[in-house]
């Protein structure tokens, strides 16, 4: 067994489904760096290699940003084209989406929806866009294309890349904490996830492509890191690149580079030194610049939902903004009354939206996992897609693309009805889909109830969609739920100000007859509230929202809603959706934000228990055959080295992989090494050496392993595993080895103390 990495000290590898040892990997990188610095004095070529090693991190994140921006642009363009394909086609150039097809039309604008270059499916078959027959044909093609896209997405995932399903953020968080899943960030996962997310979004499912972009960017970071052995062959160093890639993923998903860096810092990264912060910022900047150059959003702002509100918010509006933060975690109940109540729609907390969504989604995912339904993932996807398409088409707010719906809800459409954004996509849905009907007399109730139906439908369908075996994200559905809720609240406030402009709560701001309430602002705040309630984001959420919309002057309302959502959400249940799915899948993830407040000791958790034997290696009394037998009979990651079987005072710790390599190389290279050769981990020669030549392995012995005493509180041990990134720690008493505590033991103990099933931790 050979290893080409042995010529450079400090480069190691891991098996699949194991946790890395941060301290050991960082020490290996220091050894490698010292080796390169020492060699730098020998020749100009060594000096050049040293310079390459110094700036390889910046080059790597530069490439990650470039490729991430390009892939994101292709995904956005492809998803837009396939989404429009459900409604019609451009006969002159079928590869153009509806907007691009209408650019060549001189008779009308794209926003009016009457472009003659674009043909709806009903026009192709009946030469008409109106009438019952045209409606049925459009309905049929909408469902047919949705089913086809969903079938392709589910089939590609099932056949080529099973890891390409889902959001990917729970797994990325676990990987960045030190867990290894081979192929999860591989080239096939990258390809299938990129194609699959375009198909899934185009199918009209209640999901988004923004979350999976973090997974896609991390795949790019993982693949490109192998161009630089410093990162590709050191798992701890590789995670610095993956943290920067995660920031780039959010940057291109929303056009929010600063929010992407904060998201990586706050939500997904486990180890985030200062140099990683700067590299993440640089990577997100490059990715955003490339996406801006491609310009898939078709505007000069390079953000999804750019808004231009010209009215300042009133101080009293902080009350409904905070209320939206609470509603972001709570459900909504409607009632109507006489007089003013007949004109306004009021909300009271009833149900718990984010908490209800998380618990309902987890229940459905458990049912899928432990029932026969999990054996038929493609069938499940097709059933959910069919139901979604059937109930989505009749409602204009659910029929359109979710991103377009959010943009419409964010738009500034007041009662004066002068803003041109009010006409956005008016005829796209063949009914009065423009949002101004929600603020113009008798149409208010119809629009509100259509929005309420859209809210209920999207909430239910997202519960069943998130977690299916297709690429699916949660950011956009959460933003849509919050935007609908906020828009309806904004309409209520707008009607109140329109009918009673002189009451004290408006401080005279509404007595001039102009629009003083901006319903789109309420949609923005509501979107932030629900997304924060579902994911438990705070700082990064606020930054993403004002970058996403360009609404920098509305940071205070966004902060108020985000904090209210965070507080209420934590009171109802601390876990966000991603942490909940980590626990559901049994990944070995120790959240640094959780607290362990139990009074147990290290002796209560260590292995082995009483009457069990600890697998150890003695420092100078075991033969090669003895150690090879130990390696065959056990599967431990490493072994403590003690003085003797009778006198088990700790000498050090040796890794399983290092032992295997050393034994294989010794048998192949060193003459005189047999199965009866003594294996010695000390500098001293054996007292009597009448047999074969001994094998000295002191160089692979870690003589300073992390240890704790048997009386160390488990609260301290858990903090050590979280903050030092340990893989295991040895337990001693007066220098005598008693046992070992692994990360898996810590996770099981934490779950047991929290009254959860300790057997849900799946991997070492």
For the stretch 480-537, pLDDT in tens is 998 898 888 888 888 777 777 777 776 666 665 556 777 888 888 888 888 888 888 8
The SS3 call for residue 275 is helix
Mean pLDDT across 677-686: 78
The SS3 call for residue 638 is strand
Domains held by the chain: number: 4
| pLDDT over 70, % of the chain | 81
| Burial profile 385-406: b = 16 or more Cβ within 10 angstroms, e = fewer | beebbeebbebbbbbbbbbbbb
The Cα 10–Cα 106 span in angstroms is 66
The Cα 167–Cα 133 span in angstroms is 39
> What's the start-to-end Cα distance of the chain, in Å?
24
Q: What is the pLDDT of residue 416?
A: 45
The residues near 148 (Cβ < 8 Å, ≥ 6 apart) are: none
Would residue 404 count as lying in a domain? yes
The residues near 675 (Cβ < 8 Å, ≥ 6 apart) are: 623, 624, 625, 628
Record the tokens describing residue 270, joined without a space: 């486990």
Would residue 47 count as lying in a domain? no
At residue 418 the predicted structure's pLDDT band, cuts being 50, 70 and 90, is very low
| pLDDT over 90, % of the chain | 25
* DSSP letters spanning 497-554: HHH-TTSGGGTTTTTTSS----HHHHHHHHHHHHHHHHH---HHHHHHHHHHH--GGG
The Cα 620–Cα 695 span in angstroms is 10
- DSSP state letter for 719: H
β-pair type (638-642, 650-655): antiparallel
| Burial profile 267-287: b = 16 or more Cβ within 10 angstroms, e = fewer | bbbbbbeeebbebbbbbbbbb
Helix segments in 614-698, DSSP class H: 624-633, 656-669
Residue with tokens 């403590």: 640
Which among 76, 99, 77, 75 is positioned nearest to 87, based on CA atoms? 99
Cβ burial, residue 682 (10 Å; 0-12/13-18/19+): middle
281 shares its domain with 323: no
Q: In what order do the strands lie in the sheet with 728-733?
A: 707-709, 728-733, 736-742
8 A C-beta contact, residue 352 and residue 329: yes
137 shares its domain with 261: no
Q: Does the structure show a pLDDT above 50 at 238? A: yes
At residue 678 the predicted structure's pLDDT band, cuts being 50, 70 and 90, is confident
Q: How many other CB atoms sit within 10 Å of the CB of residue 173?
A: 23
The Cα 48–Cα 54 span in angstroms is 10
The SS3 call for residue 126 is helix
Which among 186, 216, 185 is positioned nearest to 198, based on CA atoms? 216
286 shares its domain with 324: no
Would residue 572 count as lying in a domain? yes
Q: What is the pLDDT of residue 26?
A: 80
The residues near 524 (Cβ < 8 Å, ≥ 6 apart) are: 307, 410, 483, 486, 545, 549, 551, 554, 558
At residue 574 the predicted structure's pLDDT band, cuts being 50, 70 and 90, is low
Q: What is the pLDDT of residue 650?
A: 92
Phi, psi of 708 (to 5 degrees): -135, 160
The residues near 517 (Cβ < 8 Å, ≥ 6 apart) are: 311, 314, 317, 414, 490, 493, 494, 496, 497, 510
Record the tokens describing residue 555, joined without a space: 């940071």
Helix segments in 86-209, DSSP class H: 98-102, 121-126, 132-160, 169-176, 187-202
8 A C-beta contact, residue 181 and residue 175: yes
Q: What is the pLDDT of residue 157?
A: 94
Out of 551, 585, 619, pick the residue that ends a domain: 585
For the stretch 281-298, pLDDT in tens is 999 999 989 988 887 655
224 shares its domain with 260: yes
The Cα 365–Cα 469 span in angstroms is 11
The residues near 30 (Cβ < 8 Å, ≥ 6 apart) are: 10
Would residue 561 count as lying in a domain? yes
Q: What is the pLDDT of residue 313?
A: 74
Would residue 37 count as lying in a domain? no
The SS3 call for residue 731 is strand
The Cα 718–Cα 439 span in angstroms is 56
Q: Does the structure show a pLDDT above 80 at 412? A: no
406 shares its domain with 552: yes
For the stretch 40-98, pLDDT in tens is 666 777 777 777 777 888 999 999 999 999 999 999 889 989 998 999 888 888 888 78
Phi, psi of 8 (to 5 degrees): -120, 115
8 A C-beta contact, residue 524 and residue 410: yes
Rg (CA), the chain: 30
Which among 534, 540, 522 is positioned nearest to 579, based on CA atoms? 534
Record the tokens describing residue 119, joined without a space: 């043909």
524 shares its domain with 463: yes
Residue with tokens 């906020």: 486
8 A C-beta contact, residue 56 and residue 228: yes
Q: How many other CB atoms sit within 10 Å of the CB of residue 7?
A: 8
Write down the pTM of the prediction. Answer: 0.83
Mean pLDDT for the chain overall: 80
123 shares its domain with 252: no
Residue with tokens 């220091």: 30
CATH of the domain at 408: 1.10.3080.10
Which among 344, 333, 520, 338 is positioned nearest to 445, based on CA atoms? 344
At residue 564 the predicted structure's pLDDT band, cuts being 50, 70 and 90, is confident
For the stretch 118-135, pLDDT in tens is 888 888 888 777 778 888
8 A C-beta contact, residue 557 and residue 451: no
Sign of torsion over alpha carbons 139, 140, 141, 144: positive
**To 5 degrees, how large is the angle CA 117–CA 120–CA 124?**
90
Would residue 25 count as lying in a domain? no
Q: What is the pLDDT of residue 335?
A: 35
503 shares its domain with 387: yes
| Burial profile 332-342: b = 16 or more Cβ within 10 angstroms, e = fewer | beeeeeeeeee
Which among 534, 517, 523 is positioned nearest to 558, based on CA atoms? 523
The residues near 721 (Cβ < 8 Å, ≥ 6 apart) are: 590, 729, 743, 746
Phi, psi of 18 (to 5 degrees): -130, 160
Q: Does the structure show a pLDDT above 70 at 543? A: yes
The residues near 436 (Cβ < 8 Å, ≥ 6 apart) are: 413, 417, 422
At residue 303 the predicted structure's pLDDT band, cuts being 50, 70 and 90, is low
Phi, psi of 524 (to 5 degrees): -65, -45
Q: How many other CB atoms sit within 10 Å of the CB of residue 41?
A: 9
293 shares its domain with 410: no
187 shares its domain with 139: no
The mean-pLDDT minimum among 83-92, 572-581, 629-638 falls in: 572-581
CATH of the domain at 672: 3.10.580.20
- DSSP state letter for 393: T
At residue 330 the predicted structure's pLDDT band, cuts being 50, 70 and 90, is low
The SS3 call for residue 738 is strand
Would residue 11 count as lying in a domain? no
At residue 243 the predicted structure's pLDDT band, cuts being 50, 70 and 90, is very high
β-pair type (119-120, 736-742): unpaired
> Residue 401 is part of which domain span?
315-328+348-427+436-585
Record the tokens describing residue 329, joined without a space: 């975690």
Q: Of 11 and 248, which is predicted with more confidence?
A: 248
The Cα 438–Cα 488 span in angstroms is 9
Q: What is the pLDDT of residue 515?
A: 67
Q: Does the structure show a pLDDT above 60 at 458? A: yes
Q: What is the pLDDT of residue 224?
A: 94
The Cα 222–Cα 190 span in angstroms is 10
Record the tokens describing residue 508, joined without a space: 């005279």
353 shares its domain with 500: yes
For the stretch 690-699, pLDDT in tens is 567 788 888 8
205 shares its domain with 321: no
The SS3 call for residue 3 is coil
Longest dimension (CA), the chain: 106
Within a 13 Å sphere around the CA of 18, how many CA atoms are in the beta-carbon half?
A: 18
The Cα 527–Cα 474 span in angstroms is 12
Would residue 613 count as lying in a domain? yes
At residue 470 the predicted structure's pLDDT band, cuts being 50, 70 and 90, is very high
Record the tokens describing residue 318, joined without a space: 């902080």
The mean-pLDDT minimum among 343-352, 354-363, 608-617, 652-661 falls in: 343-352
Mean pLDDT across 223-240: 88
Q: What is the pLDDT of residue 12?
A: 42
């Amino acid at each position: 067994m050979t290893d080409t990495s042995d010529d450079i000290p400090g480069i190691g590898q891991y098996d699949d489904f194991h946790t890395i040892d941060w301290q050991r990997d960082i020490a290996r990188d220091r050894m490698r760096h010292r080796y390169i610095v020492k060699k730098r004095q020998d020749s100009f070529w060594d000096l050049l290699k040293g310079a390459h090693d110094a700036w390889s991190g910046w080059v790597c994140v530069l490439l990650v940003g470039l490729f991430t921006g390009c892939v994101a642009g292709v995904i956005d363009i492809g998803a837009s084209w396939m989404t429009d394909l459900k409604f019609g086609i451009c006969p002159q150039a079928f590869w153009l989406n509806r907007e691009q097809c209408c650019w060549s039309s001189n008779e009308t604008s794209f926003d009016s929806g009457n472009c003659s270059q674009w043909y709806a499916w009903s026009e192709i078959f009946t030469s008409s866009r109106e009438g019952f027959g045209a409606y049925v044909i459009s309905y049929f093609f909408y469902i047919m294309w949705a089913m086809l896209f969903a079938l392709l997405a589910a089939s590609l995932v099932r056949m080529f890349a099973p890891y390409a399903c889902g959001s990917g953020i729970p797994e990325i968080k676990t990987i960045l904490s030190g867990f290894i899943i081979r192929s999860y960030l591989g080239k096939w996962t990258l390809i299938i996830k990129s194609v699959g997310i375009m198909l899934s979004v185009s199918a009209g499912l209640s999901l988004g492509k923004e979350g999976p972009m973090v997974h896609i960017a991390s795949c790019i970071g993982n693949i490109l890191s192998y161009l630089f052995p410093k990162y590709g062959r050191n798992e701890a160093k590789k995670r610095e690149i993956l943290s920067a890639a995660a920031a780039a993923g959010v940057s291109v998903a929303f056009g929010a580079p600063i929010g992407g860096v904060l998201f990586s810092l706050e939500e997904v990264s486990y180890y985030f030194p200062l140099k990683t912060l700067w590299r993440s910022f640089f990577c997100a900047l490059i990715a955003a610049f490339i996406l801006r150059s491609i310009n898939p959003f078709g505007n000069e702002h390079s953000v999804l939902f750019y808004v231009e509100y010209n009215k300042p918010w009133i101080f009293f509006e902080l009350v409904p903004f905070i209320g939206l933060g609470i509603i972001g975690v709570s459900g909504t109940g409607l009632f109507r009354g006489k007089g003013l109540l007949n004109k306004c729609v009021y909300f009271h907390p009833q149900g718990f939206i984010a908490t209800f969504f998380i618990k309902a989604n987890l229940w459905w995912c458990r049912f899928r996992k432990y029932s026969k339904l999990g054996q038929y993932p493609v069938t499940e996807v097709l059933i959910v897609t069919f139901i979604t398409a059937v109930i989505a088409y009749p409602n204009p707010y659910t029929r359109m693309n979710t991103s377009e719906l959010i943009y419409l809800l964010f738009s500034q459409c007041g009662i004066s009805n002068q803003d041109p954004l009010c006409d956005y996509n008016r005829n796209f849905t063949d009914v009065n889909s423009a949002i101004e009907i929600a603020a113009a007399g008798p149409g208010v109730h119809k629009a509100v109830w259509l929005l309420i139906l859209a809210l209920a439908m999207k909430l239910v369908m997202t519960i069943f969609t998130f977690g299916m075996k297709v690429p699916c994200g949660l950011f956009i559905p959460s933003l849509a739920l919050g935007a609908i809720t906020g828009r309806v609240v904004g309409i209520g406030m707008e009607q109140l100000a329109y009918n009673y402009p002189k009451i004290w709560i408006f401080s005279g701001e509404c007595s001039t007859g102009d629009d003083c309430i901006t319903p789109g602002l309420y949609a923005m705040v509501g979107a932030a509230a629900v997304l924060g309630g579902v994911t438990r984001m705070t700082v990064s959420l606020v930054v993403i929202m004002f970058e996403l919309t360009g609404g920098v002057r509305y940071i205070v309302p966004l902060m108020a809603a985000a904090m209210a959502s965070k507080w209420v959400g934590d009171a109802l249940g601390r876990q966000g959706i991603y942490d909940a799915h980590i626990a559901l899948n049994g990944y070995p993830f120790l959240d640094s934000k959780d607290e362990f407040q139990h009074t147990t000791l290290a002796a209560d958790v260590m292995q082995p228990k009483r009457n069990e034997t600890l697998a150890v290696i003695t420092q100078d009394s075991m033969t090669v055959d003895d150690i090879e037998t130990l390696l065959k009979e056990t599967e431990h990651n490493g072994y403590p080295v003690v003085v003797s079987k009778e006198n088990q005072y700790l000498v050090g710790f040796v890794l399983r992989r290092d032992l295997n390599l050393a034994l294989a190389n010794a048998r192949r290279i060193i003459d005189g090494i047999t199965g009866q050769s003594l294996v010695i981990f000390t500098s001293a020669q054996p007292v009597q050496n009448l047999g074969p030549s001994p094998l000295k392995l002191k160089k692979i012995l870690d003589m300073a392993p992390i240890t704790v005493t048997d009386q160390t509180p488990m609260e301290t041990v858990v903090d050590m595993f979280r903050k030092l990134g340990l893989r295991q720690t040895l337990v001693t008493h007066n220098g005598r080895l008693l046992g070992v505590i692994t990360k898996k033991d810590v996770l099981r103990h934490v779950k047991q103390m929290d009254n959860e099933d300790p057997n849900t931790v799946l991997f070492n």
